[in-house]
Amino acid sequence: MTESSPPPRMNPPVRTGPSRPSGPAGFVRDSALMGWRWLARMRTALYLLGALAVLSIIATAIPQEPNVPSTVAAWRAGESGPGTTASAVLDAIGAYDVYGSAIFLAVLLALYISLTGCLIPRIRAWIRLVRTSKPPIARHLGANDERQVLATSASVDEVHDTAARLLSEQRWRVRRHAGGPDDPRPAQVAAEKGLWTREGGSLIFHLSFYVLLGAIVFGQLATFEGQRGLVEGDPGFRDTAVSYWSYSPGRWFGEEEHDGWRLELDEFHVDWIRDPLAPGAGQPTVFRSDVTVTPPDGEPFAAVIDSNRPLNLDGTRITQLDWGYAPRVVVEVDGQVVHDAFLTPTLVDGGFYRGAVKAPAAEPDVGLDLFLYPFAPDDEDGRPIPTGAPWAEAPLLVLEQFRGDLQLGATQQTVNELDTGALDPEGFAALRPGQTIEVEGVTISFPELRQWVGLQVSSRPQVPFLLLAAVLLTGGLIASLYAYRRRVWVLAVEEGSEGRTLVTVAGRAFQRPEVFEEELADLAEALVGALEPGSPDRTRTGPAGPDHEPEGRAPDPDRTPSARGGA
């Protein structure tokens, strides 16, 4: 073959693009463009993923304030951790709240911009692909293609009809080509699959992150979360904004959206494996609340809240978060009751509970620092021996009494903590349930011990959208990994005068080529089965090499330029 095209010119004319602004505007424009291009690069996305990973490592290694505020407080105070100086540095860079820090949000934003920059051209290309792409018609079969050759007695048209039907049934995109005497492309059936699905799956996977982001932002605005402790047999609480101990509504959550039901805790069940020698000793076995719910306009009904079965009231979810013992403590000063309430002491390391009684009604104030040991049986001498066991078989209330100024409202103190700064110690006492004791003119009684449960009430309208994001993410991921792009061509050619037809089933695998030979053999077999049901009279000669070229043309590897670029 002679070279027929003219040689390339030495200096082809330079095509100048549309004029671009110069000066400061041009600088800004070019910088923005450069930044955008940099962000849209895959390598940048990798760096950003790496940055996200590093931030997560920091968040794993350093205590996070939203999760463990007490540990963070200890680090800040220098009681544990690397010391106050290092702690100040950590605080300055936001390492105690990585996921709320500016750096994390900046990386996330950059990642989303990068994702957008990456996706826009891909989506446009994909739409173009879906709208315009057709399975390419083979001119020659390339030497790189897998092929199977078989012979049949069916006519050429019959073979092509059957192949087109078979491939359509197997969900290929099929294109028939009739050929013709002047057509260099022989009559054939061309088919393709996986082209849209694979890239489309990848796009859906990446787009699901926008759904996720949208759902999370929507959740921040529309969610509601409240916490409330409830003692057994309490009058309960109503679902209103003021009745929660901690209340965090989203910006869009209005107070009128509360349903107004009433919830009472009838009984709380908790138990453990008590045998210290049994496997799993000390593990809890039951963790369940029996409650009564009274809807605003209906009859009360009983319900159960279990560890994995929260109570669902019209989309509001009630979950058990916490529990503890609730001792009722009555304090009388000079015959006057100054305190009569159930306390909710908190669990302290070592298996006892600590709480406080604050009675500002007395003059001067009475404060009790309380320690509750659920299981403190008497020894032979009748002295209580505190143990770490959590079951309330022999509860013992140990208290230290204070008089003076409780400084309520003046200093920061929690419900279960006394500020003893302006209090004088008056003595210790120990009480069993039902006992009454007098310490320095103050009568303290411990009539009964109940249990309390910390409930979380939450309304999360974003959950369906999160689920949608999860479904899109998983589905897209699976499609993008497991939809293999393949092309096949079925070419039937009449051979000689014996009425025999030679059929070439050829194909190309763009992913996972190692299994394609088998797939193609299966396809050829299915084709034979469809052409000649039940007839064993067939000759299979595939897989064949280039010497089995049915058209008798030299194999041309540059057949379809688009077929080479594949993923």
Partner 1 sequence: MSTDQLAELSRLLYFPTTLMLYLGAAVAYLYALTTTVGRQDERDRGNLARRLGGVLAVAGITAHVAHEIARGLAQDRLPLGNMFEVTSLMALVGVVTGLVYLQFIRNRPELNGFVLVTGSLVLGMAMLMYAEPGPLMPILDTWWRPFHVSLLVGAMGIFAAAFVFNGLYLLRDTAEAAVATQRSQPGRGSTVGAAYIGDVADARTGPDGGPEDDEERERADLLAYHRALRAGIPKVKLAVGTFVGTGLVSWVWLTTADTLAAGLTRFLTVNLVMVAAALLARWFVPFLPSTATMDGLAHRLTAFAFVLWTVGTIAGAMWAEVSWGRFWGWDPKETGAFLTWITYAGYLHARATRGVKGRGAAWIGIAAFIVLMGTYLIANYVVVGLHSYADL
Is 280 among the residues that bind partner 1 (CB under 8 A)? yes
Which residue from 34, 86, 93, 286 is in contact with partner 1, where contact means CB under 8 A? Answer: 286
CA distance 9 to 63: 67
Tokens of 50: 């790496």
As measured in angstroms, the least distance from the Cβ of 271 to partner 1 is 9
Tokens of 163: 């192949």
Tell me which H or E stretch contains 333: strand 316-333
Tokens of 240: 């209103």
Binding mask 548-567 vs partner 1 (x if CB under 8 A, - otherwise)?
A: -------------------x
Place of tokens 């007490």: 70
Is 439 among the residues that bind partner 1 (CB under 8 A)? no
Place of tokens 């330079």: 14
CA distance 446 to 397: 8
Is 59 among the residues that bind partner 1 (CB under 8 A)? yes
Q: Between 197 and 456, name the residue whose CB sits nearer to partner 1.
A: 456
Written as one letter, the residue type at 408 is: L
Q: Between 195 and 429, name the residue whose CB sits nearer to partner 1.
A: 195
| Window 97 to 116, contacts with partner 1 (CB under 8 A) | 99
Q: In degrees rounded to 5, what are phi and psi of residue 114?
A: -60, -45
CA distance 267 to 364: 37
Is 73 among the residues that bind partner 1 (CB under 8 A)? no
As measured in angstroms, the least distance from the Cβ of 216 to partner 1 is 9
| Window 467 to 496, contacts with partner 1 (CB under 8 A) | 467, 470, 473-474, 477-478, 481
CA distance 130 to 88: 56
Q: How many CA atoms lie within 13 A of 124 on its CB side?
A: 5
Tokens of 268: 């709380």
**With CB under 8 A, what is the number of residues at the site for partner 1?**
52
Which residue from 25, 28, 33, 46 is in contact with partner 1, where contact means CB under 8 A? Answer: 46
Is 81 among the residues that bind partner 1 (CB under 8 A)? no
Q: Between 72 and 150, name the residue whose CB sits nearer to partner 1.
A: 72
Tally Cβ neighbours within 10 Å of residue 195.
21
Is 218 among the residues that bind partner 1 (CB under 8 A)? no
Binding mask 116-155 vs partner 1 (x if CB under 8 A, - otherwise)?
A: ----------------------------------------
Is 64 among the residues that bind partner 1 (CB under 8 A)? yes
Q: Between 99 and 210, name the residue whose CB sits nearer to partner 1.
A: 99
Q: Between 50 and 546, name the residue whose CB sits nearer to partner 1.
A: 50
As measured in angstroms, the least distance from the Cβ of 51 to partner 1 is 10
Q: Which residues contact 465 (CB under 8 A, 6 or more apart)?
A: 211, 214, 215, 218
| Window 293 to 322, contacts with partner 1 (CB under 8 A) | 306-310, 317, 319, 321
As measured in angstroms, the least distance from the Cβ of 275 to partner 1 is 11
Tokens of 102: 């500016």
CA distance 255 to 252: 10
Strand 146-152 and strand 539-540: pairing? antiparallel
Q: Between 122 and 553, name the residue whose CB sits nearer to partner 1.
A: 122
Task: Assign 108 to helix, strand or coil.
Answer: helix
As measured in angstroms, the least distance from the Cβ of 375 to partner 1 is 20
Q: Between 318 and 505, name the residue whose CB sits nearer to partner 1.
A: 318
Q: Which ranges of 144-237 does DSSP label H, i.e. alpha helix?
A: 156-169, 195-222
Buried b (16+ CB within 10 A) or exposed e, 277-296: eeeeeeeeeebbbebebbee
As measured in angstroms, the least distance from the Cβ of 250 to partner 1 is 14
Place of tokens 């138990």: 271
| Window 509 to 528, contacts with partner 1 (CB under 8 A) | 514
Contact residues: partner 1, CB under 8 A: 42-43, 45-46, 49-50, 52-53, 56-57, 59-61, 63-64, 66-68, 99, 225, 273, 278-280, 283-288, 306-310, 317, 319, 321, 456, 458, 460, 463, 466-467, 470, 473-474, 477-478, 481, 514, 567
